[in-house]
Amino acid sequence: AKDYELRQYETAKWVSTVIRGETQKEAMRQGFWKLFHYIQGKNEKEMKIDMTVPVTCLIKSGCTDFKISFFVPFEHQDSPPQPTDSDVFIEERKAAAIFARSFGGFASPEKYAEEAEVLARILRNRGQPFHEDFFYTAGYDSPFKLFNRHNEVWYFKK
């Protein structure tokens, strides 16, 4: 479809942190820095790890906890170094079919919510079953990139 993609993601490890009781924007900021410190060597092996994209944020309806995650690079998937910050953890996300909608520009929490609503409406109209109680935001660019930015919202297929 021109307004979304259906992708199949394989099982993979992500490094994550949960930020509670903040705005989404502040949770993203705090979560990003916790994870950035991890890839800069705040882990058991004191190993620097390449930054990967996307940076995801799990949004659950009616919930003020935000789970921010970095994809663990392929060369570390088998045994990622363990975080030394107790708020940071390695998680394995199971293989899944995901509906993704892409958009450009600087993404705000409001813009992510708006794009998620558009995607949800399209999926409902096309009779596509999906998990409606949560979605992920996915950002692919450094804050310093000004043009041709790439952002996504993801719903998991039922």
Q: What is the mean pLDDT of the chain?
A: 96
Domain count, the chain: 1
Amino acid at 54: P
Per residue in 16-69, pLDDT tens? 999 998 999 999 999 999 999 999 999 999 999 999 999 999 999 989 999 999
pLDDT at residue number 144: 86
pLDDT of amino acid 10:
97
- DSSP symbols for 56-105: EEEEETT--EEEEEEEPPGGGSSSPPPBSSTTEEEEEEPPEEEEEEEE-S
Tell me if 47 sits within 8 A of 80, measured CB to CB: no
Is pLDDT of 116 > 90?
yes
Task: For residue 9, give the 3-state DSSP assignment.
Answer: strand
What does the pLDDT average to over 100-118? 97
Closest CA to 54 of 67, 41, 68, 40: 68
Q: What confidence tens digit (pLDDT) does each residue in 124-141 have? A: 999 999 999 999 999 999
Sign of the dihedral defined by the CA atoms of residues 114, 137, 134, 122, in that order: positive
Residue 79: which pLDDT band, with cuts at 50, 70 and 90?
very high
Sign of CA pseudo-dihedral 111, 117, 122, 123: positive
Burial class (CB in 10 A: 0-12, 13-18, 19+), 42: middle
Boundaries of domain holding 134: 5-156
Q: Tell me, what CATH number does 109's domain have?
A: 3.20.80.10
C-beta separation of 140 from 53 below 8 A: yes
